[in-house]
């Protein structure tokens, strides 16, 4: 008798973007490793930005990113969609336009090959939705399945939106609710409701294309842009603040949450990546006195294909929100940047 096929999440050590190495670990790993410096390299890993940017000519730069992770769901098609959407997000987070992708696959030889077919079909469906071709890729055998993409985009060198250009007075605008890490952990433990599974699956598979195109439209000023992924709202908020050498203030009551997330966190349904995010981020964060640990964990929750987080001048914030709404993109003003010691305050 054949052994039953395990669920994809049973093969995953940690789900989605919660699998990322911590920023301080990456810093230690890269310390002392020399890197060739060239004038055409406009954005590299030094600023913890979303993608690399390399100038080809005075009016053209190539934007490159790579992202892959273990399964966040048991449905292989949905997993493929989410991994592909997440990989493409970093291109839009730079204000750029994706032009093609390459698949990255690790797959256990014991699993039916039909599962891999479904994963790749899911990725292909999102590439088609984004309007880009998949031109190849690379695959290996591995005990833990992993899927993602290397994505190439283009941008004018003078229109790059980094995570380091915020100005004092900017409004922080977020385009998706947070809580996907806690939600997928609940799913893995059999504690997520059907409604939550449906909601989080749809959100994680939603492209950031419409939001990215609005922020890159030039119809209003955007001083900085990033996406909220594996380091959580706290981690990516800190990157924006430190990049701008300013203080970010996030109003807790304005932060949108997926349903059930606060309750699940209070029950201890929290991924390991979220806990390490909080441990790392809280060195630069000031919390209100008496804020429960569970709420801190929600703010640090490792997101998979989370929303875009933009720094927009206050005078342009209303216009930005209206344009996003016109493209059916939900968005919330959750705080601002102000002069002060670089870091983050939760108000």
Task: Give pLDDT tens digits for 181-211.
Answer: 999 999 989 999 999 999 999 999 999 999 9
Superfamily of domain 171-346: PurM-like C-terminal domain (3.90.650.10)
Instruction: Indicate if 17 belongs to the active site.
Output: yes
What's the pTM?
Answer: 0.91
Residues of the chain with CATH 3.90.650.10: 171-346
What's the pLDDT at 21? 64
Could you give the CA distance from residue 324 to residue 307 in angstroms, rounded to a whole number? 12
Q: Indicate whether 113 pLDDT > 80.
A: yes
- Name the percent of the chain lying above pLDDT 70: 93
Q: Looking at per-residue confidence, does 13 or 252 come out higher?
A: 252
What class has domain 8-159? alpha beta
Q: Which residues contact 3 (CB under 8 A, 6 or more apart)?
A: none
Q: Indicate whether 347 pLDDT > 60.
A: yes
Could you give the CA distance from residue 208 to residue 308 in angstroms, rounded to a whole number? 7
Q: Predicted confidence band at 14 (pLDDT cuts at 50, 70, 90)? A: low
- Dihedral angle over CA of 237, 87, 217, 94, nearest 10: 50
> Could you please report the per-residue DSSP string of 60-117?
EEEEEEEEEE--SSS-HHHHHHHHHHHHHHHHHTTT-EEEEEEEEEEE-TTS-HHHHH
Which of 8, 17, 161, 265 is labelled catalytic?
17
What's the pLDDT at 38? 87
Strands (E), the chain: 41-43, 52-57, 60-69, 97-107, 134-141, 146-155, 171-174, 224-227, 247-250, 285-286, 308-312, 332-338, 343-346
- Name the percent of the chain lying above pLDDT 90: 81
What's the pLDDT at 1? 40
Q: Residue 17 has which token pair?
A: 């973007």
What's the pLDDT at 19? 61
Whether the Cβ atoms of residue 280 and residue 235 lie closer than 8 Å to each other: yes
Whether the Cβ atoms of residue 84 and residue 122 lie closer than 8 Å to each other: yes
Could you give the CA distance from residue 116 to residue 274 in angstroms, rounded to a whole number? 28
Stretch 73-92: mean pLDDT, rounded?
A: 96
Task: Give pLDDT tens digits for 301-324.
Answer: 999 999 999 999 999 999 999 999
Task: Give pLDDT tens digits for 24-54.
Answer: 676 677 777 777 788 888 887 766 667 899 9
């Amino acid at each position: 008798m054949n052994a039953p096929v395990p669920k994809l999440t049973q093969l995953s050590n940690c789900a989605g973007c919660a699998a990322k190495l911590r920023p301080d670990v990456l810093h230690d790993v890269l310390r002392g490793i020399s890197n060739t410096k060239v004038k055409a390299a406009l954005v590299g890993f030094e600023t913890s930005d979303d993608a690399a940017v390399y100038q080809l000519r005075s009016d053209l730069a190539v934007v490159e990113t790579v992202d892959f992770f273990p399964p966040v769901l048991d449905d292989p098609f949905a997993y493929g969609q989410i991994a592909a959407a997440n990989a493409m997000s970093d291109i839009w987070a730079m204000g750029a336009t994706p032009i093609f992708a390459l698949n990255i696959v690790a797959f256990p030889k014991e699993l039916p090959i039909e599962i891999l077919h479904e994963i790749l079909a899911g990725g292909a469906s999102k590439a088609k939705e984004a309007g880009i071709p998949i031109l190849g890729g690379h695959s290996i055998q591995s005990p833990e399945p992993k899927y993602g993409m290397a994505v190439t985009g283009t941008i004018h060198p003078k229109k790059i939106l980094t995570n380091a250009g915020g100005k004092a007075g900017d409004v922080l605008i977020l385009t998706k609710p947070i809580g996907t890490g806690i939600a997928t952990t609940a799913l893995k433990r059999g504690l997520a409701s059907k409604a939550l599974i449906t909601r989080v699956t749809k959100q994680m598979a939603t492209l950031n294309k419409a939001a990215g195109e609005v922020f890159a439209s030039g119809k209003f000023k955007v001083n900085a842009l990033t996406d909220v992924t594996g380091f959580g709202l706290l981690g990516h908020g800190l990157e924006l603040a430190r990049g701008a050498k300013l203080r970010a203030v996030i109003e807790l009551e304005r932060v949108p949450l997926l349903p059930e997330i606060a309750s699940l966190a209070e029950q201890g349904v929290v991924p390991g990546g979220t806990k390490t995010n909080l441990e790392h981020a809280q060195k630069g964060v000031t919390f209100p006195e008496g804020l429960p640990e569970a709420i801190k964990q929600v703010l640090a929750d490792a997101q998979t294909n989370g929303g875009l987080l933009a720094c927009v001048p206050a005078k342009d914030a209303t216009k930005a929100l209206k344009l996003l709404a016109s493209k059916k993109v939900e968005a919330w003003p959750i705080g601002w940047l102000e002069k002060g010691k670089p870091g983050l305050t939760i108000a």
